[in-house]
Every structure is written in C-alpha cells, then in structure tokens.
Structure 1
Amino acid sequence: MVTSTTPATPYQVLARKYRPSSFESLVGQDAMVQTLDNAFKVGRIHHAFILTGVRGVGKTTTARILARAFNYADAAGARPTLDLSKEGLHCAEIIAGTHVDVMEMDAASNTGIDSIREINAMTRTPPMSAPYKVFIIDEVHMLSTSAFNGLLKTLEEPPPYVKFIFATTEIRKVPVTILSRCMRFDLRRIAPEVMTDYLGGLLAREAVFFEPEALSMIVRAGEGSARDCLSLTDQAIAHGGGEITAQSVRDMLGLADRARIIDLFEKLMGGDIAGALDEARALYDSGADPTTIVADLAELTHLITRIKIVPSAAEDPVLTPDERGRGADLAQRLGLRILTRTWQILSRGLTEIAQSGNGLQAAEMVLIRLAYAADLPGPEELIEKLSSPPAEGGGPLAGPSVSAGGGGMQARAMAPVQRLQLAPVAAAAPQAAALPAPKSYEQLVALAGEKRDLLVKHALESDLKPVAFETGRIEIALTPTANLAIVSTLSARLKEWTGRPWMVTVSTRQVDAPTLREAREAERDNQRNAALEDPLVKAVMETFPGARLVDIRTRADTEEAEASAEGPEMAPIDPEDDE
C-alpha cells in the first residue's frame, strides 16, 4: 500500500531568499545608489547603463532593481523613482523575472548577431503594460564583434521607451564604442565589516548560532562577493549541523588554524626548522592541505607587511585576535627586506607544490628553503660587507648581517648559514664535555673564538658592550646596528659550551664605553700616532719620500705570529689530549 504524502516545500538557498529587491536592501554599493538617486531626482535618467564588478557583488540584482525603478507605478500613475519601499504594480513580476516588458538575455549563450537582431526588432514596438521596455544583457562581453556592431545604432538612438542595462565581469573586453554610449558603474567588493554585519543579521533572522571567528573565515573566503559568502554560509550551516563554529568552517574550507599558522611563521623566522617541520606535519595531519599551509603563510606575510606600512590595517574586523596582536608585534620586529624575500620564496613555492607529485614533500622543502635562504643578504648588503674591514679572526662575511631596513628580530639573527654548516658535524660528533665557565667578558670572547663560533665572536667584539659580568649572568648594551636575536643566541651557546644556564639581559642604561673592536682600533690609532712621532720613524720617512706606515707590530705580536705559523707542523695533536 502506497501512502500519498504532500511534498515538502523546496528549500530556498540564502542567496535567493535574501536577494535585495530595492536599493535600501542592496549591500555595499552606496556610491552607485547615491549617483542614481540624484539622477532620478533631477530627471536626468540615462537610456543605457553598464554595471561591472567581480562575481556576486550584485550586478544582475542591481539591473532588476533599476528595471523596477524605471517602471514604478502605483494607483497615482507611473513615475520613475528609487523609493521602492512600497511595492508597485509591476514590481513583483520584475523581481521574479517574469515581466513581459523586461527582457533578460545571457550573452554567454546568445553571442551571435541573430540575438541582437531580435532585440533590435523588439525595440520597434512600445511596451505592453509598463512605462519602459528594459533589456538586461548579462555577461555582455561575451557578444561577438558582429553582435556588438549590430547593437551600436540602436544603443546610440533608442526609442524613448527603451532602456538598456548591461552587466559584465570583464569590462576591458567590451568595445569602447559600447562603453561610450553607456553610464558606467563599477560595483565594488563588499567591505569585510559590512559583509560581517550583514551575515550576522541574516543568521539572527534564521535563528542560527554562529561564532564570530567562523563568520570572519567565511567573509575572508568570500573575497567581497555577497553570493559567495551566502553560499558558504549555507554550506557551513549544513556542515555544522545547524550551527556555525570556527572548527566546522575550518574543516569545511580545509583551512589551517590561524594561530598555528602564526606559530609556524615564528618558528621559520626564528630558524627553528625542526619545530617548523613538526608544526607543518601536525597541520597536515589535522586536515590542512600543503598548498593551503603555504598559501596561508604567504597571506600572513602580506598581512604583516601591510601592517608594517599601514598600522591601521591591524584593526580590520575580519582578522582574528591572534592576527591583530601577534601580527602587529611581528610587523615591528621584522624588516621589509625579510618580509619581501619571504613572500617571494612562498610565492614560488606555491608553483612548485602545484607541479610536484607529492605536495607535502614539496611544501616541506619550501619551508626549509625559507628558514635557511629567506634571510640571505641582498646585493647591496654584500657590497657593504665586502667593502668593510674584516672582523678579527674572520672574513668580511663572518659577522652577523645588519639590515638598515628594519630593527628587531630580523630572522637572520639565528645565522641559518652557520647552522647549515655545523648541523651535520653536531649530529655525527659525540656530546662535547662542558668547558669551565668564563670569568670575564674577555674570556667569553676567547671562548667563542676557541669554539670557532664567528657569529658570536664578532657580535661580542663589535655589537655588544659589557655592563656587568658574573658567572651565569651577563648584562650587555647593544649598539644601534646590533641584532636583538644575538641575546638568545648567546645564552644558548653559553649553555651548550658550559653545561649550565646563563641569563643574558640587555641594559636600559646609557653606556658610553666603546666595544672591544672600537677600543682595539683606538689603541691601534694611538700606537700609530706615537710611532709617527718617533724620531727614528721620522728619519726613515724623510729619507724615503712617499713611504707609508703600513702596520705596527710589537715584539709580542711577532712572537705570537711565529708560534702560530709553526704550530700545525710541530704539534698536530693537542698536548692536553696527548696527556
């Protein structure tokens, strides 16, 4: 036995259910509405309009509302108006798309001259019931060249009862001969704050619970398109079982947690490659696509760069609290050179991932390259380093790189090149025994030289000034060119070398004392000046015109240099090891 049941009312998607039917309910196009309102008030209503903009901003909807405004009529008679608060005689049929005097044509499926000939023929007869015949041609850029040519004459001199409204997403493909005959309106992407308020009110009417963070994700994914946002909202309601949560939207869109993306970014900028790879793998295991992870990193890089240049960008309502707070902090700590190079590496990495057979492996290689190579010095920086005097005990590139473009963290402070050279040795060699703790700043410099850590040695000599020194604690002052990350690097190196923790703090006091390198150079200058005043040197200089004082060496310097030259041949093995 078959029981007959009444079919349920078909569900109407939010994009159709809440489609605007008047300019008061149109979202995010205030400039266009203001222009039209003024034109209607003074009776200067054009006969042809062209609406352009990205998908889903309301081009076809605006065309129907305009058709309704042209043909508005009530018991008092017909009169064009933008005040559509009260439904007129023709409004319902126009909004539904069934009015006989309002013809809609999709140019994507009617591209030829024959369709335009039909329109030209219809313009010869007056409207049947409404004041105007309105022709709405969607995606008008799809018309063929012959179709555009066939429309020109009618578009330039139409009958007084004919109005044309064109809509297109590709305004540059429309011939200028068409554009010059139309009043053009560029419909803008809907601002995030406007879209957020709109969706919030809509969900309140639908009695759907939502989390603000989830709504921000939807607005961001919608990219300023009302239709896209509404479609994603529909999908999110279904995915979340009647409610919209941040986790359900994240799962639906395949997004990574924004806070975890920032964690990953900070690990990359700090040179923690192992931690970055673990974080990326955790994001992948939680459902984030490798392409999405790298794309999110690129988006975060753009956001931080924008905040650095325009600090007010941190107040964007679609940003999460982590993006606002931590993004602004990173913008202060990272220089523009680092950020632009990071963007370039991530952008190229997206192409590599798309072409790779294994997206996760390609993404991990991009992250490794970013951590190691994103901070390599630029051409102007290399020129500056090669032109500057070499640091004692190292070449011109031995010391930490200095960026004039931005203070703070600078990502480069962890010396990725140095780690790249030392990591294999550290992995293969057994754990070294802890060395005695240095008792003075000079002993610390000597220890860095003994460990062949040129980065730390150069920083201790050229970028840091000792303020206080005791076992386990060092207070230093930084020069203007010093890299802040040397503080954490020095603390980690001391713990590694001595086997005990060290606290390295930056002094807030004004320190006028010179760095070790400045003091050494000043002493060398004093020695040079004293030598030039020596009577014997003066006599030599007078005897040999054009002679120059090239270097000054004491007897102790000479003996030390001779001992260093003989050392490798006479003592290939350390005497302490021999004992």
Structure 2
Amino acid sequence: MSYQVLARKWRPRSFREMVGQTHVLKALINALDSQRLHHAYLFTGTRGVGKTTIARIIAKCLNCETGITSTPCGECSVCREIDEGRFVDLIEIDAASRTKVEDTRELLDNVQYAPSRGRFKVYLIDEVHMLSSHSFNALLKTLEEPPPYVKFILATTDPQKLPATILSRCLQFSLKNMTPERVVEHLSHVLSVENVPFEDDALWLLGRAADGSMRDAMSLTDQAIAFGEGQVLAADVRAMLGTLDHGQVFDLLHALIQGDAKALLEAVRHLAEQGPDWNGVLSEILNVFHRVAIAQALPEGVDNGHGDRDRVLALAQAMPAEDVQFYYQMGLIGRRDLPLAPDPRGGFEMVLLRMLAFRPADTGDAPSQPLKPVGISQATVDSAQAVATAAALTPVATPVPEPVAAPEPQVAPPPTPAPAPVVEPRAPVVAEVDLPWNEPAVPVVEQAPAPEPVLETVSEPPALPPMPLPTPDSVVPDAPQWTAASIPEPTAEQVDAALSGMDRDDEPPLDEDYIEPDMDSAAYSYLDELASEHAAEHEPAPEPEPQPAAMPATGLALEWLNMFPKLPVSGMTASIGANCTLISAEGDEWLLHLDPAHSALFNATQQRRLNDALNQYLQRTLKVTIELIKPEQETPAQAAARLRAERQRLAEESIYADPLVQHMIQQFDAAVRDDTIQPVDVVEPQAS
C-alpha cells in the first residue's frame, strides 16, 4: 500500500475534527440543524486553512443517507464516496484552469438536471476569483436563483477580485489563519498518534514556518520526519528551514543589557558562522523588543507564538521601559541604514555597538540590572551628578548692592546692607503683611538705585534748588554702602547655606518656566515672574488676586498654610504644593486637593517629591494622596497673591500720601507711574 501524506491522512471528515475556525463552524452547524440552508456559500482565506475541507463536509451533511444533519455518519456509501473524491453529485471545478466563458456555460447547462444519487447537486468552484468577467456575468442569474436541488460553494484566496454582484448573492465566511500555538498543539497530537519522536522547539519552528496554514505545517512535518530519519528534532528542523536560532537572539540581548561588549561581539561571531541574513537578524531583535514592550504594558498580553514567553517576561523585568523604546527606535534606523554599510555584518555590529555606547543612564525608579563597564568609550552621563554640579556652580540669588552708575538694568536689591541668607524661615502669620516666604522678587526696569516712583510731567519743570527729602516708609534712604565696588563672588558657606534645604539628589530638572528662588521666598515665585514679564514690556502688572471661590483658610487648611513654607521643595514641586490645600490628615494618610488648573504640571514624580519633603520635615513616614479638586479654602499661592496685593496697595497709598509727591502733582501736573511702585521692607540704618 502506498504511503499517504499527513496532510491527506489527517484531513478532517466532520466538523468536530476541524481545528480552529469556530466562528464559521458555529454558523454552519446551526444552519444545518435548523434546516435554514442557503443556496450559495463563499469561503475566503489563505491557503491551507480548510476551505475545500469544509465544502466537502457540507456536501456530506446535505447528502448523508441518515438525513440532513451537521454530524454525517461517515459510514454510508455517500460519505465514503465523498471522502474518496468519487461522488457523482459533488462537482469540483478548478476555476484557475477553466476561466473561459464557454466552460462556465457548459457547467450551467448541466445545472438543470436533477442529482443522480444524492439529495443535492453541489458545485464546488475553487479559486473562483480566476474566472473572467464574462464567466461571472454568465454565472450571475443561475447563482441568484438556482434550482432547489443545487448548492454552490465558492472558495477563493483573493476575495477582492470578486465582483460585488457575486458577493451579494453568497453567504461569505472568512477563515482565519492558524496561530502557531494551535498548529503546535495539533502537530503534537498527530505525531503522538503516529509514534514519531519530537521536540517541542522543533514544533514551534514548524508552526512559525507554516505561516498560518495547517496544510503547510503538515507538509513541513512530513519533510522534517524524512530529514531527521523518523524524528523531529529542533536542530534538524532549523537546518532544514535555514532559520536563525532564537536563543542566539536572546544571547545578544543579554550581552547588550549587561553592557558586555566582549560577549556581544562573541555572539555576533557565532551568528556569522551560520551565514545569516543580517537584516533578518535585526528584524528578529526588533520583534523581541516589541514583545518586551507589550509585556511591560500588559504582561498577560504576551503570546507564546515563539515558545519564549518566559524569556520575554524576564527581559521585561530586567529592562527599563525607556531603554526598550530607545533600542527599538535605534534598531529601526539601523535597518534603514544597513544597505548603506560597506559590509552587512559590519553594519549589524555598528548598530549593536551604537546601542551599547548610547544606552540611557540608569534611573532610580526603573527596574534594571546592574550594567558592567563597557569595554569601549562609554557615552553615559550620571544625570544626578550633573544636576548637583550645575547647582553648585550656579550663583546663589543673594541680595547684592547695585552700583550707582549701572549701564544696564539690574535686579533691584533689598535695602539689607549685607546678605544674610536665612536657613530656617520664620513661620508666617496670616494676619501679617510681610511674610518671610512671600518676598517679592520682581526685577526693576528703571535704572535708578532705589525704587523711587517715576513722575511724568506735562510741562518742562524748572530747576529746583536742592532741598532735603523726607524719608517715609516707602522711600529707601541713601546709605553710604552703595558704592561702585565690584560684585563679590558668593562663598562656599553662602552656597551651602542657601541650598541647605534642597534635596540635591531629588532636584527637579531645570525648566525655563521657573526661576530658582531663594530659601526665604518659599521656593516659588511664579506670580512674581509674571509681574516681571509685564514690567519688562512697560505694561502695568496685573494684581494677583485669590480665586473667586477661595475662602479664608481654617483648620487643616490653615495648618498647611503655615507648614508649606518650611518644606524643602522647589520648582514645579513647589508650584504644585502652593496650589494645594490639606483636606484630611488621618494618622499617616494625608489627603490634599489640587486646583485642576495646575494639573498639567502634576504627575506621579511631583507627588512623590512632595511626599518625601513632608516626611523629611515631620520626621515620619506619610502616605500623601493628591486629588484634582478645586480647593474651597485658601491655598498658599492664593494667600501669597492676596498679601502681595495688600502690600502693593499700602505702598501705593504711601506714595500718594508723600508730601513731596503731592507737591509735584499739584505744582507741575505730574503723574505717578503705578507700575514703578514696589513695596519694600524698611530697615534701620546701621550706626557707622
């Protein structure tokens, strides 16, 4: 007896023997059981997914001697003849070889005759998309209204080529490709029944090589059995298919994340012995990175199509997410540039060395394995050390006396005669006006040595004799220490004192939208910066007023108002905290409400930094939760805006009440420029 190939020997003979295609089988079984039979069916899908097999099973279901059923007996003469391909009422037509309209007309001439043995005459037209347009036109009328004893079953791998008129007359079923998992499961069952020894890795190689076709998988298995002398081994299948060992790809990736250049180049050398397609190897690496990224986002979403799910999950735990995205993008660019390399292997090695040389720096909150020092020039930079060095080299914003004749606008210094950075800021009292954490830092546009009001006169004033000027609270008296001496460089003690409250290891990145403030300005000056931008454009600065819904702070909100200036925060973290209010403090769990208008700056990192600052200040461990709900009571930012507006109002009243100013307004019709009025703190001059 001649040998029968596995693809024919294991062809399903009933619906229950079918592998996959559940969505198609359910509809067909229900239709057969309920006797709701259509006159034309269209099965689409790639090669080897079961189109012809399902058509033959339908023919048996319709003509079985036991009756029309979804479970044909398989024992009667009709079922046996259909399985053997010699049933007279099952007409199989290869449309690829009978494309002419004459062939179609000959076929249709026989439609009028009743079936010879069965209940129905079944026409199975395979690759129906190969028919000519005239053949389709000839088929239309008969396909729409065939005799009651005729059923048409069409099969095609390219349904896009079928006319819409044909599609509208058929029930269309789209058969899916077989997944590698389903192919491996079926091959394992077949080889176990056939008593053929096999390895699981070999079946995975065959499942991926089949590319969704079960018939191709069975044919490749026949070839592997012959190649391996009765066994299906992974090494033999890999040699037969000429595919890359997937384990070598993981060896490359392990050497890459370990930062071991020697192991990386050694793995490339082993790959070169097989003469692989380097573009294909790089494509395999990108596929692994893609699956690792899926594992990091959704671990249960990783398929086992390559039989390496556990290794992919291990890589997902070992690599930070940003590294995976960086390597994937670099691999894509490497594939694009690979044809330009003088040598394919050299281009592939350069892609890997580029990944190794420019790997991202480690982050404190990302899972990563310790990396070995690279044996080549390493291009990584310790970001935390760079930020700390930049902070140490940045001059501290300590008040410095301004020279008398300054050619360019300078920042207006406070009248304090000597810089004295405060390490411990005072606790603010809400009823007071000048809070130590609310010092304005608005740069002065005018070039005068003191922020005196600028008077605009309508007419040219006459020369006035020198006269002593009064020194009200809003005017800074002349002091002998205002000299044109050079600005001294800050000492190391001043730098340490000014930065003592800051956590350098957790310092936020430098942003152009934020100015690094002094410690005694409560580490946030976003409203002052807004006023400085308007002053630079010679426009009156808008008065920062609290939000309309804000109410005076009481209870926990008042405690937060007094506590926030003492927290060691800065930059965006300070802005987040300044717009929060404390809602509840039950034990070690605190709840803060943040104004949703500032949600663009809020993220998990800012919440963690604010939590760490509270832990450092209170000397205990808290769990801080921040919700995006508009606070009903006053936040530190709103209190700062209100107090600043009050100080500005008092300063303006002091200027307008000044006798000299009133005299100039009355005599010379002068006008006071409100944008040049700034509240200042008056200090007693030191005795010489």
> Which residue matches 1:179?
167
* Structure 1 residue 178 displacement after superposition: 0.9
Which amino acid letter does the alignment assign opposite residue 59 of structure 1?
Answer: K
Q: What is the Cα deviation at residue 164 of structure 1?
A: 0.7
Alignment of 1:135-534 (within 5 A): 135-268=123-256, 275-286=263-274, 288-314=276-302, 316=304, 318-320=306-308, 323-329=311-317, 333-335=321-323, 337-338=325-326, 340-342=328-330, 344-345=332-333, 347-348=335-336, 352=339, 361-369=343-351, 371-372=353-354, 407-408=366-367, 455-456=380-381, 459-462=384-387, 515-518=388-391, 524-526=396-398, 532-533=413-414
1:516, CA displacement in angstroms? 4.9
Q: Distance in 1 between the 2:142 and 2:356 partners?
A: 59
Residue 397 of structure 2: SS of its match in structure 1? helix
1:543 corresponds to: 449
Q: State yes or no: 1:42 paired with 2:29.
A: no
Q: Counterpart of 2:45?
A: 53
User: What is the CA–CA distance in structure 2 between the aligned matches of 1:317 and 1:53, rounded to whole Å?
Assistant: 21
1:142 and 1:209 map into 2 onto residues whose CA distance is 42
| Aligned equivalents of 1:259, 1:59: Cα separation in 2 | 36
Is the contact between residue 334 and residue 409 of structure 1 (CA under 8 Å) also seen in structure 2? no
Q: Does the CA contact (< 8 Å) of 2:122 and 2:150 recur in 1?
A: yes
Q: Contact between 1:101 and 1:134, CA under 8 Å: does it hold in 2?
A: yes
Instruction: Report if aligned partners of 1:298, 1:347 keep a CA contact under 8 Å in 2.
Output: no
Q: How many angstroms does 1:533 deviate by?
A: 3.3
Q: In the alignment, is the contact (CA less than 8 A) between 2:196 and 2:231 conserved in 1? A: yes
Equivalent AA in structure 2 for residue 208 of structure 1: V
1:38 shift after superposition: 0.8
Q: Is the 8 A contact 1:67 1:134 kept in 2?
A: yes
- SS in structure 2 of the partner of residue 533 of structure 1: coil
Q: Distance in 1 between matches of 2:233 and 2:324?
A: 36
Q: Where does residue 110 of structure 2 map in the other structure?
A: 122
**Cα deviation 1:197-216 (Å, max 9, x = unaligned):** 21111101110111112212
SS at match of 1:21: coil
- Select the structure of larger CA radius of gyration: 2
Question: Aligned equivalents of 1:279 and 1:50: distance in 2?
Answer: 50
Q: Structure 2 CA distance, aligned partners of 1:97 and 1:258? A: 42
Letter of the 1:210 counterpart: F
In structure 2, stretches of 5+ residues that fail to align are 403-411, 419-442, 453-485, 493-688
Of all paired residues, the percent bearing the same amino acid is: 36
The one-letter code matched in structure 2 to 1:461 is A
Change (3 A) 1:329 1:340: same
Task: Indicate the residue corresponding to 2:69 in structure 1.
Answer: 81
Call closer, same or farther: CA 1:54–1:374 in 2, change over 3 Å.
farther
**Residue 367 of structure 1: CA displacement?**
4.1
CA contact 2:261–2:356 (8 Å) conserved in 1:
no
Aligned residues: 425
Structure with the larger helix share: 1
Asked if structure 1 preserves the Cα contact closer than 8 Å seen for 2:42 and 2:172, the reply is yes
Aligned partner of residue 259 in structure 1, secondary structure: helix
Q: Distance in 2 between matches of 1:68 and 1:374?
A: 62
Do the aligned residues in 1 keep the contact of 2:129 with 2:158 (CA within 8 Å)?
Answer: yes
Query: Equivalents in 2 of 1:44, 1:128: separation in Å?
Result: 23
Aligned residues of 2:296 and 2:317 also touching (Cα < 8 A) = no
Give TM-score scaled by structure 2 length: 0.55
Structure 1 residues 301, 132: closer, same or farther in 2, change over 3 A? Answer: same
Q: The residue matched to 2:92 in structure 1 has which SS?
A: strand
- Contact in 2 for aligned 1:341/1:374 (Cα 8 Å): no
Give 1:535 shift.
Answer: 5.1
CA distance in 1, matches of 2:34, 2:220: 41
Of 363-372 and 57-66, deviating more is 363-372
Could you tell me how far 1:39 is from its partner in structure 2?
Answer: 0.7
Task: Tell me which residue corresponds to 1:111.
Answer: 99
Structure 2: how far apart are the matches of 1:403 and 1:337? Answer: 15
The 1:42–1:555 alpha-carbon spacing in structure 2 relative to 1, beyond 3 Å, is closer
What is the CA distance between 1:20 and its match in structure 2?
A: 0.9
Residue ranges of structure 1 left out of the alignment (5+ in a row): 1-8, 378-399, 424-452, 463-514, 558-579
Query: Which amino acid letter does the alignment assign opposite residue 264 of structure 2?
Result: A
- Per-residue displacement from partner, 1:383-410 (whole Å, max 9, x unpaired)? xxxxxxxxxxxxxxxxx77999x94559
The answer on whether the counterparts of 2:44 and 2:174 sit within 8 Å (CA) in structure 1 is: yes
- Aligned-partner Cα distance in 2 for 1:22–1:140: 24
Q: Distance in 2 between matches of 1:374 and 1:516?
A: 26
How has the CA–CA distance of structure 1 residues 267 and 125 changed in structure 2, closer, same or farther, with 3 Å as cutoff?
same
SS in structure 1 at match of 2:41:
strand
Equivalent-residue separation in structure 1 for 2:352 and 2:290 (angstroms): 15
Structure 1 residues 211, 402: CA separation in 2 closer, same or farther (over 3 Å shift)?
closer
1:301-340 Cα deviation digits (max 9, x unpaired): 3322332333113352652366344343356555563254
Greater CA deviation, 174-183 or 247-256?
A: 247-256
Cα pair 1:70 1:131 within 8 Å, conserved: yes
Residue of structure 2 aligned with 1:554, choices 458, 477, 489: 489
**Equivalent-residue separation in structure 2 for 1:412 and 1:138 (angstroms):** 59
Whether the aligned pair in 2 keeps the contact of 1:54 and 1:225 (CA below 8 Å) is yes
**Cα deviation digits, residues 442-495 of structure 1 (max 9, x gap):** xxxxxxxxxxx8x54654232xxxxxxxxxxxxxxxxxxxxxxxxxxxxxxxxx
The amino acid across from 2:180 in the alignment is P
Matched residue SS, 2:413: helix
CA contact (8 A) 1:53 1:169 kept: yes
**1:334–1:410: 8 Å Cα contact kept in structure 2?**
no
Given the alignment of the two structures, is residue 22 of structure 1 paired with residue 22 of structure 2, yes or no? Answer: no
Match of residue 62 from structure 2? 70
Going from structure 1 to structure 2, the CA distance change for 1:287 and 1:214 (only over 3 Å counts) comes to: farther
Judge conservation of contact 2:257–2:319 (CA < 8 Å) in 1: no
Distance 1:217 1:316 in 2: 12
Q: CA deviation at 1:346?
A: 5.6
CA contact (8 A) 1:335 1:408 kept: no
Q: Which amino acid aligns with 1:533?
A: P
State the AA in 2 paired with 1:554: E
Query: Is residue 68–residue 91 contact of structure 1 (8 Å, CA) maintained in 2?
Result: yes
Contact 1:314 1:328 in 2 (8 A): no
Question: 2 CA distance for matches of 1:201 and 1:186?
Answer: 26
Out of 78, 93, 112, the residue aligned to residue 81 of structure 2 is 93
Residue 54 of structure 2 aligns to a residue whose secondary structure is helix
How far apart are the structure 1 equivalents of 2:356 and 2:38?
A: 55
Q: Which moved more, 1:192-201 or 1:172-181?
A: 192-201
- Cα deviation for residue 246 of structure 1 reads 1.8
Q: Alignment partner of 1:50: what SS?
A: strand
Task: Give every structure 1 segment of 4 or more consecutive aligned residues whose post-TM-superposition deviation is greater than 6 Å.
Answer: 373-377, 400-404, 410-416, 527-531, 536-540
Deviation for aligned residue 1:536 = 6.8
TM-score of the superposition, structure 1-length normalised?
A: 0.64
Question: Is contact 2:90-2:123 (8 Å) kept?
Answer: yes
